[in-house]
């Protein structure tokens, strides 16, 4: 166990203002993996002041030079990928193979995408007799979650830097170790002092202080809808820009004539990845009545392949959830599903045999879930799949759109045109067609209560810009 000291502020590690600490627990066994300072308003204020002082110089840095600094940061992340993967596995519980393939590799891809965007983005344009300038917003307060701890940091910091903004980062208290590693990478990459600052701390203390700080021009938050609403209210009261990437209850719609075996296998994999702790996970599988029982059988068989195991074993496909509190939340939803009459196909509330220590949840599948059930309406954030039956395409669309969320989704069909036509009518920010692959340039974000704004690619870059027109 390593006790880390200090906050990364103005290009150096500085002692925290107070003595409070946060213990970082390994969710696989509940042991203490490390500790970090629990920063407060004084630390946030120092970081914001540093970011504010660094802003004019970074904003005036030519985009090509900003791109070069992003390239150096990307290169450090590449060199430290194995360390990143093992760090995430230790504090999140993600199987190390998944940590390598996703938690360490995706941030590299996202950072790389902003190298070209920083250099090539049109920061000026002509409209008639006017010149329109796209200028950096200013100081960004980035509040990031624990489920994809480095990806969500890079998805905010990289476009902010490409735009010419400076950043104060407050990572989730469950996974601050990889955030410290990122701050080390920033330093190693030679970014100017104050351009990126890190304050570790609790959300209601350091996070709230950052969201409220008058020196912050934009708050970018990823997390629960409940917390996002509070941050949105704080930002709105201060007439401050806000970007919110919140919860999801995404529908995986399998249309008649689709490759059922492929759709079900991919759907189960999507939900079980990262132990179900993915805001965009396809947690509702919608299957036509004629294919329903076959889909349930296939889902049960596919889920059996996700046996819990040591997260540091390369062969493990399912790790624990992040914390004991998260385990209680997930198993509470499983119990509620049983009370409401859904059919428990596999899984349940008891920990997997041999995994009584730590924060383990059995991979769980429910059938006979109806649209009004809690399982079909609320975000569970665990390895729990609900399979719903529909009668025709209009019924499927009604069910798919029948939640407060609209973050992601999927459509499977024998004919791609049919899938696209259905996807166009879905009230959600992103839809995978017949197993479409992740694209770091595609905008990611939600409709309805899934959020405000977009991340990734050029759309993510424009979140950190404001416009000025010069009239001639």
What lies within 8 Å, CB to CB, of 39 at 6+ separation is 7, 16, 17, 18, 199, 200, 201, 205, 206
CA 156 to chain centre: 10
Contact predicate 263/252, CB 8 Å: yes
How far lies 49's CA from each of 19, 214, 410, 426, in Å?
A: 21, 10, 44, 44
How far lies 162's CA from each of 75, 100, 245, 441, in Å?
A: 16, 26, 20, 14
Classify burial at 472, counting beta carbons within 10 Å of its beta carbon; exposed 0-12, middle 13-18, buried 19 or more. Answer: exposed
Contacts 24+ apart (CB under 8 A), 327-331: 327/351, 327/359, 327/360, 327/361, 327/382, 329/380, 329/381, 329/382, 330/276, 330/361, 330/380, 330/381, 330/382, 330/383, 330/384, 331/361
91, 173, 212, 245: which is the annotated catalytic residue? Answer: 245
391 a catalytic residue: no
279 a catalytic residue: yes
91, 165, 212, 279: which is the annotated catalytic residue? Answer: 279
Q: Which residues are catalytic?
A: 245, 279
């Amino acid at each position: 166990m390593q006790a880390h000291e200090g906050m990364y502020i103005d290009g150096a590690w500085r002692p925290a203002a107070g003595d409070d600490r946060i213990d970082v627990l390994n969710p696989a066994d509940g042991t203490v993996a490390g500790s970090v300072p629990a920063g407060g308003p004084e630390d946030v204020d120092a970081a914001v002041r540093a970011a504010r002082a660094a802003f004019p110089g970074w904003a005036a840095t030519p985009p090509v030079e900003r791109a070069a600094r992003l390239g150096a940061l990307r290169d450090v992340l590449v060199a430290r990928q194995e360390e990143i993967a093992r760090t995430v596995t230790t504090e999140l519980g993600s199987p190390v193979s998944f940590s390598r393939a996703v938690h360490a590799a995706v941030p590299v891809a996202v950072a790389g995408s902003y190298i070209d965007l920083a250099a090539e983005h049109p920061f000026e344009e002509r409209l008639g007799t006017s010149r329109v300038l796209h200028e950096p917003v200013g100081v960004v307060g980035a509040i990031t979650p624990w489920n994809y701890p480095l990806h969500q940091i890079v998805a905010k910091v990289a476009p902010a830097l490409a735009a010419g903004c400076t950043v104060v980062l407050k990572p989730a208290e469950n996974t601050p170790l990889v955030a410290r590693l990122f701050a080390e990478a920033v330093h190693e990459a030679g970014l100017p002092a104050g351009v990126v600052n890190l304050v570790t701390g609790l959300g209601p203390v350091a996070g709230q202080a950052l969201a409220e700080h008058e020196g912050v021009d934009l708050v970018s938050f990823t997390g629960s809808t409940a917390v996002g609403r509070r941050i949105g209210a704080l930002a709105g009261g201060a007439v401050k820009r806000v970007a919110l990437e919140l919860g999801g209850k995404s529908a995986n719609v399998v249309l008649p004539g689709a490759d059922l075996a492929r759709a079900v296998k991919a759907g189960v994999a999507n939900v079980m990845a990262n132990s179900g702790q993915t805001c965009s996970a396809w947690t509702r599988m919608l299957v036509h009545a004629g294919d329903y029982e076959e889909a349930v059988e296939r889902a049960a068989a596919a889920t059996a392949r996700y046996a819990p195991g040591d997260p540091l074993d390369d062969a493990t496909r399912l790790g624990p959830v992040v914390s004991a509190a998260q385990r209680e939340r997930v198993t509470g939803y499983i119990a509620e599903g049983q009370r409401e009459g859904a059919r428990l196909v596999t899984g349940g509330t008891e920990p997997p045999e041999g995994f009584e220590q730590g924060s383990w949840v059995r991979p769980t599948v429910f059938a006979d879930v109806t649209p009004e059930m809690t399982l079909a309406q609320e975000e569970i954030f665990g390895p729990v799949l609900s399979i719903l039956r529909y009668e025709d395409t209009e019924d499927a669309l009604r069910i798919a759109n029948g939640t407060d969320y609209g973050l992601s989704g999927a459509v499977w069909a024998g004919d791609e045109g049919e899938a696209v036509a259905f996807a166009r009518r879905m009230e959600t920010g992103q839809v995978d067609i017949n197993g479409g692959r992740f694209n770091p340039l595609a905008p990611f974000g939600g409709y309805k209560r899934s959020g405000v704004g977009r991340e990734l690619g050029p759309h993510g870059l424009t979140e950190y810009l404001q416009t000025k027109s010069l009239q001639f």
